[in-house]
């Protein structure tokens, strides 16, 4: 059965990666042509995921990276940038 949620009910939901890591909290939905285009997520600073974003307070995650919505939001781990190791010469 399809369950419909209001966007206003989404604000404040916890966000996790599909790997089970805490990511942050939904701050806002960005709409384009009356459809959800992306989500603004406030990064949880107490997790190791936050180190990948430097001093950024949040990130915009495209809606196609959202895997599931329920009591929490699950986003694909592909939404997290991969920090490349610098090679020493």
Please report the domains of the chain, with CATH numbers, ordered by start residue.
7-79 (2.30.30.240)
Residue 82: the pLDDT is 64
Mean per-residue pLDDT, 55-69: 89
Rounded mean pLDDT, 31-57: 85
Residue 7 has pLDDT above 80, yes or no: yes
pTM summary value? 0.79
Query: CA torsion, points 67, 19, 45, 13, in degrees to nearest 10?
Result: 30
> Phi, psi (5° rounding) for residue 54?
65, -130
In this model, does residue 73 exceed pLDDT 90? yes
CB 17 within 8 A of CB 23: yes
Question: At residue 83, does pLDDT exceed 70?
Answer: no
Average pLDDT score over residue span 10-37: 92
Q: In this structure, are strands 73-75 and 14-17 parallel, antiparallel, or unpaired? A: parallel
């Amino acid at each position: 059965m399809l369950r419909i949620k209001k966007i206003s009910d989404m604000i404040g939901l916890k966000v996790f990666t599909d790997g089970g890591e805490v990511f942050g909290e939904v701050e806002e939905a960005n709409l384009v042509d009356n459809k959800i285009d992306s989500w603004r997520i406030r990064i949880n600073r107490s997790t190791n995921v936050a180190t990948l974003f430097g001093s950024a307070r949040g990130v915009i995650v495209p809606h196609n990276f959202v895997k599931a919505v329920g009591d929490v939001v699950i986003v694909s781990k592909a939404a997290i940038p991969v920090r490349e190791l610098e090679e020493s010469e």
